[in-house]
Chain A
Amino acid sequence: MADDPNFSSSRRKFLGGAAVAGGALASGKLVHAQAASPDPLITELQPWQQYLGPGVDAAPYGMPSPFEAHVVRRNVPWLTADAVSSVNFTPLHELEGIITPNGLCFERHHGGVAEIDPGMHRLMINGLVDNPLVFTMEDLLRFPRENRTYFLECAANTGMEWRGAQLNGCQFTHGMIHNVVYTGVPLRLLLEEAGLRTNAAWVLPEGADAAAMTRSVPLEKAMDDCLVAFAMNGERLRPEQGYPIRLVVPGWEGNMWVKWLRRIEVGDEPWHHREETSKYTDLLEDGQARRFTWEMDAKSVITNPSPQAPITHGPGPTVITGVAWSGRGTIPRVDVSLDGGANWVQARMSGPSLDKSMHRFYYEFDWDGGPLLLQSRAHDSTGYVQPTKDQLREIRGENSIYHNNSIQTWAIDETGQAENVEVG
């Protein structure tokens, strides 16, 4: 947006205005900016004020304004071998509130997006059950449903930053997350329908895509709050999010939220499949690895300003905002530091505070135009406080790839540009 010619002229004017206001603040009196000449955008009739716009069905499925065309998911091509088994990132720096619009929810596929006609989709429940069952979509829609808002974070989110500051943009450092209102059937109801045998202890959800993704999920979690979701943010799931159904595993790493869900097997032992042995195990410095690290630790990031969203308005009133979340509860508090962690202030939380959902925070202050080292620190409802990168490295080393929930630092220079840095 900063380079958009549509914005540059008004930005220059505002910069001039802000400089006046900044001077006025120093003398203790609030004086608004003065324009040297009338603004032609006000004094001259603009085309959209005169000519008719498109009618009601011009876009039967609505699209964002063309001026927002830069707000898209982006990938990092060098990260993976092939786009069919790859990931892209949610543009967190362009979003407000707590809900991620469906078209901006990051994607991670292991065998591309399966294209499934819901009339041809089946969900099977088998294994340690009294009566193995097959459900059609019509069957599933006859069970009672729930609406719940949850974040989904890939365990590898921020995984490129273990060894140091690497990617310049919160989209790339923190964008493997989205926050969505799901509508779905509690997995508990489907398992009860099939009838659990007494030795049932684990379930294995499996996808219908070409990767046939599988993960072992303990039965306690499956019976507690997992959903078989068919809708997100009010509409049916997007194909890239598992249409027609996906598993929702609240607060736990995104890889377990199996998309294009076709089968749930019930067993007495975990399966130790590829995504819970070769991948999604956390290698520590001594060569030993943690397994079954399911919960996502509390985490936050300042989304604005950040490298892709610099401060463009000069000194004066400035809004810092960001998001925070925890796989163990809610986020009652976020602290913000302007000096790289030496001093902290409490941010202002705004918007719904829901269990295992994204939270929005703000910190408003008058920027003096000097360099800043911005950090945010989440506190979750269990009392856990987001650690520094060094605190995590001390325990985990630098090779664990997954579960990097450390405090992020953005350096802001005198021109308002932001950079991903580490401090010490």
Chain B
Amino acid sequence: MKKILLSASALVMGFSLVALAQENPAPSRDGGYGLGRTALPEEIAAWDIDIRPDGTGLPVGEGDVWTGEEAYVDYCSACHGDFGEAVGRWPVLSGGFGSLDGEDPVKTMGSYWPYLSTAWDYIHRAMPYGAAQSLEDDEVYAILAYLLYLNEVVEDDFVLSNENFAEIALRNEDGFFLDNRAEVELPLFSQEPCMSDCSDPVEITMRAAVLDVTPETESDEAAEEEAAVVEEETVPVATGPDPELVAAGEAVYRRCSTCHQIGESAVNRTGPLLNGIYMATAGTREGFRYSPAMSGAGEDGLIWDDENLAAYLTDPRGFLRGNRMAFQGLRSEEEIAAVIAYIRANGGE
């Protein structure tokens, strides 16, 4: 490690000497410039959320596999699948053991990730997607316990806590080594190359056109034009909701757009498409796989009127236990009124 760093920085220094002469580096000042202010302990505590492999940074807490499964179904399964198998091109979270040296490696926590701390840190800082840092610490422990269970690292009676965290080793911890290009590649690729008659005449062995996966420029443009037309048409004809509310709702809706599409070319994604959702019966969008809770609510006659939409958007899980929408809810009545107005004005009604 040390050796690589030294040789790398020696190279860096060699080149920057040239640059330094031209550039006049910004000068250091003894004792500093006296700029900025001392960070308060509360401020550091709010932002310093990183976790290291030895468990440094972990908060006190715990969670078991079955609590984790419930939280996982609520917050994670819409993208990652009920068992970590993934929906669409979202990341696979389980399995892939022994696949790393094969033709199609599947890199999961169970097959590839070296440290459990990476998963705790990442889930806590960036998940659920679109509602980062909203999980309770115990929920993170529980979800992680469930993921360890899915990856056959622990049994189903396992409870993960800050106490036993450092004892959990993942399969591929020893599957990594430090960049060795300096030894393996640089000498090999630093020889004066051949300039003439280097090989027999070469032939084409593979063509990209055969695969035909390059995006079509013209159809892209057509789609963009179509989208632009849709926007122009739909915004002015929005006669129902207050235009000011609709405009305010556009920014709020961005949080929904991670999972839901709306408008002429909208399709079901992580969440169902929202065209015609206003005053529709819950759980009836064709081709979308609803939770039993949502389908059942529809069968019982739940209609997405203003009142029900507002209640659902305030507290998605509290409104309907067991539904899969991984969203924390909107805090203000203004935001809720605005986003409903936006949805209605853009194809929702």
Residues of A bordering B, CB below 8 Å: 3, 70, 74-82, 84-85, 110-112, 124-127, 131-136, 139, 142-148, 164-169, 172, 185-186, 188-189, 192-193, 195, 204, 206, 210-212, 214, 218, 220-221, 224-225, 251, 262-263, 265, 267, 269, 271-274, 277-278, 281, 283, 285-295, 297, 307-308, 328-330, 335, 339-345, 354-356, 373, 377, 381-387, 391, 395, 399, 411, 419-424
Establish whether residues B189 and A272, one from each chain, have CB atoms under 8 Å apart when the complex forms. no
Shortest Cβ distance from residue B22 to the other chain A in the assembled complex, whole angstroms: 9
Contacts of B192 in A (CB 8 A): 385
Residue of B nearest to A218 (CB): B5
Residue of B nearest to A210 (CB): B132
B167, CB-defined interface residue at 8 Å: no
Residue of A nearest to B30 (CB): A192
Segment at the A interface, from B152-160, B213-221, B302-310? B213-221
Partner pick for B26 among A74, A134, A143, CB 8 A cutoff: A143
Q: Which chain B residues in 155-195 approach chain A with CB under 8 Å?
A: 175-181, 184-186, 188-195
Establish whether residues A146 and B191, one from each chain, have CB atoms under 8 Å apart when the complex forms. no
A-B contact pairs, 12 of them (CB 8 A): A143-B33, A144-B27, A148-B23, A167-B208, A211-B132, A290-B179, A292-B178, A297-B181, A329-B15, A340-B201, A341-B198, A421-B206
Contacts of A281 in B (CB 8 A): 176
Bound-complex Cα distance A408 to B133 (A): 43
Shortest Cβ distance from residue A414 to the other chain B in the assembled complex, whole angstroms: 14
Establish whether residues A135 and B35, one from each chain, have CB atoms under 8 Å apart when the complex forms. yes
Establish whether residues B204 and A111, one from each chain, have CB atoms under 8 Å apart when the complex forms. no
Contacts of A192 in B (CB 8 A): 28, 32
Bound-complex Cα distance A387 to B185 (A): 10
Q: Which 9 residue pairs are nearest across A and B when measured between Cβ atoms? A: A287-B101, A144-B26, A420-B208, A287-B100, A340-B202, A81-B89, A132-B39, A133-B36, A168-B214
Partner pick for A335 among B44, B51, B193, B213, CB 8 A cutoff: B193
Establish whether residues B199 and A273, one from each chain, have CB atoms under 8 Å apart when the complex forms. no
Main secondary structure of the interface of B (DSSP, over half): loop
Bound-complex Cα distance A70 to B105 (A): 38
Partner pick for B202 among A339, A399, A420, CB 8 A cutoff: A339
Shortest Cβ distance from residue B207 to the other chain A in the assembled complex, whole angstroms: 5
Bound-complex Cα distance A148 to B15 (A): 14
Establish whether residues A172 and B214, one from each chain, have CB atoms under 8 Å apart when the complex forms. yes
Establish whether residues B198 and A344, one from each chain, have CB atoms under 8 Å apart when the complex forms. yes
Contacts of B105 in A (CB 8 A): 283, 287, 399
Residue of B nearest to A172 (CB): B214
B211, CB-defined interface residue at 8 Å: yes
Number of cross-chain contacts by CB at 8 Å: 296
B200, CB-defined interface residue at 8 Å: yes
Establish whether residues A206 and B258, one from each chain, have CB atoms under 8 Å apart when the complex forms. no
Residue of B nearest to A127 (CB): B48
Establish whether residues B50 and A273, one from each chain, have CB atoms under 8 Å apart when the complex forms. yes
Shortest Cβ distance from residue A159 to the other chain B in the assembled complex, whole angstroms: 14
Shortest Cβ distance from residue B324 to the other chain A in the assembled complex, whole angstroms: 17
Residue of A nearest to B191 (CB): A385
Bound-complex Cα distance A356 to B5 (A): 18
| Interface range, B side | 35 or more
Shortest Cβ distance from residue B33 to the other chain A in the assembled complex, whole angstroms: 6
Partner pick for B9 among A146, A166, A221, A307, CB 8 A cutoff: A221
Contacts of B188 in A (CB 8 A): 387, 391, 395
Q: A133-B36, A168-B208, A168-B209 are in contact. List 4 more A-B contacts (CB 8 A).
A: A265-B50, A271-B52, A355-B15, A355-B19
Shortest Cβ distance from residue A135 to the other chain B in the assembled complex, whole angstroms: 4
Establish whether residues B33 and A278, one from each chain, have CB atoms under 8 Å apart when the complex forms. no
Partner pick for B33 among A193, A195, A391, CB 8 A cutoff: A193
Establish whether residues B25 and A132, one from each chain, have CB atoms under 8 Å apart when the complex forms. no
Establish whether residues A133 and B39, one from each chain, have CB atoms under 8 Å apart when the complex forms. yes
Bound-complex Cα distance A274 to B88 (A): 21
Establish whether residues B8 and A295, one from each chain, have CB atoms under 8 Å apart when the complex forms. yes
Contacts of A206 in B (CB 8 A): 47, 50
Establish whether residues A166 and B208, one from each chain, have CB atoms under 8 Å apart when the complex forms. yes
What 0/1 pattern do residues 48 to 91 of B give for CB contact below 8 A with A?
11111110000000000000000000000001000000001110
Partner pick for B118 among A75, A218, A274, A423, CB 8 A cutoff: A274
Partner pick for A290 among B12, B52, B176, CB 8 A cutoff: B176
Contacts of A373 in B (CB 8 A): 202, 204
Contacts of B47 in A (CB 8 A): 124, 126, 206, 262-263
Residue of A nearest to B254 (CB): A112
Establish whether residues A385 and B201, one from each chain, have CB atoms under 8 Å apart when the complex forms. no
Residue of B nearest to A286 (CB): B101
